[in-house]
Amino acid sequence: MRSWSVCTAWVLLAGLLSGPAVSATVQEFAVPGTRSWLEVQQGALNPASYLETIDFTTDALGGLMPVEPSVAVAVPVRPAALAGATQLDSVLALGDGAAILKAAEGLADDKRPDGALWSQAQLAALTSYLDSMDAFSWNVAQREVVAVQDAELEDGTSVDAGDVLLERLNDFPSTPHEAELLRLAGIDSIAALVNVADRFDEAGDADELAAKYNKDVSLILFGLFETAMKRANRMVKLPELVLDGDPYTTFERYDESGSDVLQKFIFYLDLGRYFPVGLTRIHPYPGSGGKINAYTLRVGVEGTEVEIAGSDVYNAAIPGHPDFVDVADGMPSFVIVQSDPNNPVDTIAVGFDPPRRVQWLRLDIQTDQGYDLAEWQVLADGFLPTATFETVPLEFVPATLGRVYWDEDWVGDPSKSEVQVRFRTGTTPEPDVYYRFDAFNEDIPWSVDAAPVVDRRPEAATYLDTVDLNDPKYRLDMRQIYTALTAEERLSVRLTRAEYAGLKLSERAQIEPDLTYWSGYQTAEQGDLVPAPSGNQYLQFRIDLLSEDARAARIIRNLRFEYASPQAAGRVLAEIGPAVGVAAGLDTAFTLAMETPLEIGTGGFNRIKVDTPARIGAITDLSIDWDGAVQQLTRQADGATTEPGPGEYSLVALEDRYFVIGLDPVYPSGDGTAAPIVTLSFGGRVIDFRTTFGASIYLDTLGVRDRTEYTRSGILVLDDTDTGVDTLGTILPQQAKSPLQGESVVDLLETAGLADRNSLSVAADISGGRSLLDNIGLSPNPFSPNGDGVNDEVAITYDVLRLINAGTISVQVYDLSGRSVRALRERQLTSGGYTEIWDGTDDAGDLVAPGVYMVRINADVDVGEKAIVHTVAVAY
């Protein structure tokens, strides 16, 4: 099969050819390919204080997949400075770092074999090594660690290849002795679970903060009657001590001489989003013995979040460090996962198997005895439950959008994960409207600096004066002034994404999609047309990867979509009438009006495809209005082998759900001002109470072919060869849209006396009591399947009415004794008009004997079962 898709550079060449005999070229935009995932990705609004892009990673093949929080931790290496320090070998086998260091310091006065003293450099190297071992030991294994090769230490400790050295969810080894054994067994690094509650760093260093995995975590403390601790320590110092990944910084609650200290606090930990959590641990200062004697640990229940009025979650007094005045909005209900009124251990640990989706945790301290809280770990274990990848608005030249494809793979149970791809297009580089809080705490969409506008309120004293929306004297009128502006004026003063990103957190208000200049996001189906309007300057797509199971995830590779440029016309609008009061199932005279602006750079058209709910009857009129000069077209004789000439049209295709009209090509004029209106009248019928017709135009100059295949996503021009099918070309039809509110193509009520809703949708009356199966037709009847090319087949037509969901429709042929002769069709159908063909053969492929046969159409649907029987005669 010939290739019809051409992968092109991202920026299309200007001056694409248009005019006579030039069809649009179908091209392809691909990621990765035309651009990489990273190039098209929309960055975070504020990486310093919001969750940086942790949603996605790429696999070995470049596929996009959700992050499985994990970090490879190197096994500490014995410093070179200690090489040959044989006297330390026995010391390094001690299990406690402090004991090792103390013993080593004692050896500093002894003589080495060469007679020299232990140097301070060696002691410093040893101290650094022990610190790295301590940090190493705080990690938890994500997976089982198995020896790669046989290994043996000098003291005789040995392992064989394949031995399990570390169980999953166990702490990493804490002694140099164990680390050396790991390295000898071929283990250089170990995959560790990520602590997604690690938000702060000890020194407040920006680079260290940027390296944190989760930047949106926060800790809230409730001790409403505490006076011994300043508010700044409760709200700021507490998270820095407990969420810094350092067990040696601690929040202490011990009574001091002369003053009582409140110990019964409630801590709320908000991770900022849901993570699959395998283990959570709460530690005291190492070796302090400061256990929490009585506590209850709860987790928030997903889906029970309730906004709490009056809360002020993000206060930017300290950027990036939330200052909680009240309970955060969106707090869920909590359930107990562990409670102990007499806790004997220093570290509180709760495991979840399988991993549990967690965003909120609550720890109630229920003891009057002192304790310290050094570190709260929440260890993510598995794929993120939701991951969203969104592109920047991609700039395009006007193009007709075609089919979208992507390659999918998965990890784990494929039924537990899914991918959603969505598209939207628009005419501005800003697809969202950003709001900010002003000095009066009003949420407003205009910028701080660019707010002078013309007051367009006729009743206002400042009518047509230039006013500043940010001037306090217009505070009560500012929204009315803004609303009265034209759409273009509102756009000119709107807050941009860059300006919004530069605001303090306390100044940021909501973000809403711009539905004036952009379409809303629509979900794409594999192999279908991009579900967004064509011809717009900007396009944006979004990928959502969803996992119900922490062990399951989708991988998306090679997302690509077709586009064709030049377009046939500019923004094509269409409407149909009558649009109301139509009786479902009855033949009705419809008129379709379509405006086709032929701007400079467009290619023109010679085909009109109309999508219908059922096969149409006669076409009664076709005309083109050239700015008041109406050209009436006449139908070309059926069977003509040439393209229609000037003033002619042809019926190119007629099927159950569409028909295609051929025209003499309609091309742009030299100045690009032509906007002809095509008016088409035909007989048809609607099925449901609401039916939407479709209309599209395209230029077909591909010449002679064996057949043309019309699909929802494009037109294939095909040749049938001895070896198969040869695709000569593909054409993307440019779809017409209903006019926007307040717009119209023509006034159908005035011009044709038809009820007009300025839309392609028709509201039908289904109260007439018509049957579920209606408009049954058999033609010709009788028929003669003798192979002479005349009346060899009978067409069985029928309508299915009033279906809410698809139902099973079967069509079978019986002889007069009731014996089944031929099963023609059994399929799931929705409301619509359908046609089945019987060629006079039985199920074995033999011609039936002449006589009368019964055709039974049976509907097994949501409103019951209905069967209708008609007779047909076979004659030879």
Residue 184 resides in a domain: yes
Best CA proximity match to 828, nearest among 852, 810, 850: 810
Pairing outcome for strands 714-721 and 724-731: antiparallel
Q: Is the domain of 699 the same as that of 812? A: no
Please, is 844 exposed, middle or buried when counting C-beta atoms within 10 Å of its C-beta (0-12, 13-18, 19+)? exposed
Helix axes 97-107, 120-137, angle to 10 degrees: 170
Q: Find the farthest-apart pair of alpha carbons in the chain and give their distance in angstroms, rounded.
A: 120
Q: Which residues pair with residue 626 across a beta bridge?
A: 629
Question: 3-state class of 831 per DSSP?
Answer: coil
Whether 360 contacts 42, CB under 8 Å: no
Question: 3-state class of 643 per DSSP?
Answer: coil
Residue 387 resides in a domain: no
The dihedral over CA atoms of 471, 473, 475, 479, expressed in degrees to the nearest 10, equals: -80
CB burial readout 31-64, b (16+ within 10 A) else e = bbebbebeebbbeebbeebebbbbbbeeeeeebb
Please, is 99 exposed, middle or buried when counting C-beta atoms within 10 Å of its C-beta (0-12, 13-18, 19+)? exposed
Compute φ and ψ for 696, nearest 5 degrees.
-150, 160
Q: What token pair was written down for 220? A: 């809230």
Q: What is the pLDDT of residue 14?
A: 27
Residue 588 resides in a domain: yes
Q: Tell me which residue range forms the domain holding 617.
A: 573-765
Question: 3-state class of 120 per DSSP?
Answer: helix
Q: Is the domain of 758 the same as that of 777? A: no
CA distances from 47 to 51, 137, 213, 797 (A): 7, 30, 11, 62
Number of C-alpha atoms within 13 angstroms, CB side, residue 853? 31
**Which pTM was predicted?**
0.72
Whether 139 contacts 192, CB under 8 Å: yes
Whichever domain contains 726, its CATH number is 2.60.40
Residue stretches of the chain with pLDDT short of 70: 1-23, 46-56, 59-60, 81-119, 201-211, 215, 223-237, 257-259, 307-330, 450, 766-771, 802-805, 862-864
- Checking phi first, is residue 742 left (phi over 0); if not, alpha (psi -120 to 50) or beta? left
Q: Is the domain of 606 the same as that of 728? A: yes
Q: Is the domain of 266 the same as that of 411? A: no
∠ CA 291-294-300, nearest 5°, is 105
Whichever domain contains 781, its CATH number is 2.60.40.4070
Q: Is the domain of 190 the same as that of 238? A: no
Q: What token pair was written down for 663? A: 């025209």
Whichever domain contains 300, its CATH number is 2.60.120.260
Please, is 237 exposed, middle or buried when counting C-beta atoms within 10 Å of its C-beta (0-12, 13-18, 19+)? middle
Q: What is the pLDDT of residue 7?
A: 32
DSSP character at residue 465 = -
Q: Is the domain of 169 the same as that of 268? A: no
Q: What token pair was written down for 469? A: 């929306």
Identify the domain boundary among 737, 765, 793.
765
Q: What is the pLDDT of residue 53?
A: 44
**Residue type at 824?**
L
Residue 527 resides in a domain: no
Best CA proximity match to 264, nearest among 293, 230, 233, 240: 293
Number of domains, the chain:
6
Q: Is the domain of 746 the same as that of 834? A: no
Residue 200 resides in a domain: no
Q: Is the domain of 261 the same as that of 223? A: yes
DSSP character at residue 108 = T
Best CA proximity match to 185, nearest among 213, 205, 157: 157
Whether 614 contacts 832, CB under 8 Å: yes
**Cα 454 from chain centroid (whole Å):** 39
Q: Is the domain of 82 the same as that of 172? A: yes
Q: Is the domain of 439 the same as that of 414? A: no
Residue 15 resides in a domain: no
Q: Is the domain of 583 the same as that of 553? A: no
d(CA 23, CA 733): 11
Q: What token pair was written down for 603? A: 């290619």
Specify the residue for token string 């140097």: 119
Residue 718 resides in a domain: yes
CA distances from 446 to 450, 476, 494, 496, 872 (A): 8, 15, 4, 9, 72
Best CA proximity match to 360, nearest among 389, 326, 337, 386: 337
Q: Is the domain of 687 the same as that of 742? A: yes
Question: 3-state class of 568 per DSSP?
Answer: coil
Q: What is the pLDDT of residue 74?
A: 94
Residue 742 resides in a domain: yes
User: What is 9-73 written as a DSSP string?
Assistant: -SSPPSS---STT-PPEEEEEEETTTS-HHHHBPPPS-TTTS--S-SEEE-TTS-EEE---EEEE
